[in-house]
Amino acid sequence: MKWLNAYAVINELAMQKILKKFVKEHFELKDNVIDKNLTAFIKSKEFANRAKLHYAIDDMFTFFAEHFTGNNKAKSKKMLESVGAEMRRKDAILISFFGGASAIMVLFGLFFLFTKSSDGDYDYDIILSSLSTIRFTFMLVYILFACGFAI
């Protein structure tokens, strides 16, 4: 039912955009009677009237409860709403990888941002002088990995 509602929203938006483009292309007056009648016609269709969707969802839960869970409506809601809720393993791995990579890059940047200036330490001066190059290299590697995993 959630997908049906999303489909109805997409259809309504598409019809409104089509109507808007039609009026723009074929009418000289942007606000006319035909435009208003077509808008009213779109609003009168079932996909635009989602107020009844709540009742349809309740009817579906009741039907499922009667036939599959022995009139246990709470169990039927749990069974029907849990379908498709799991995240794919591949997506979880990608999210955790890029979340971790982003966190490490932020922590690395914060380390160099909040450390005090050196007291003549040659290695530290080299790192600070090349910080923009390091930041650019990290971003480039991150973008390449992101594109590679996304493809």
- pLDDT, averaged per 10 consecutive residues of the chain (151 residues), comes to 76 83 76 76 71 77 87 84 67 79 76 65 67 76 73 61
Tokens representing 119 are 């007291």
Question: Rounded CA gap, 88 and 97, in Å?
Answer: 14
pTM metric for this prediction? 0.38
Place of tokens 């808008």: 39
Joined tokens for residue 148: 């590679």
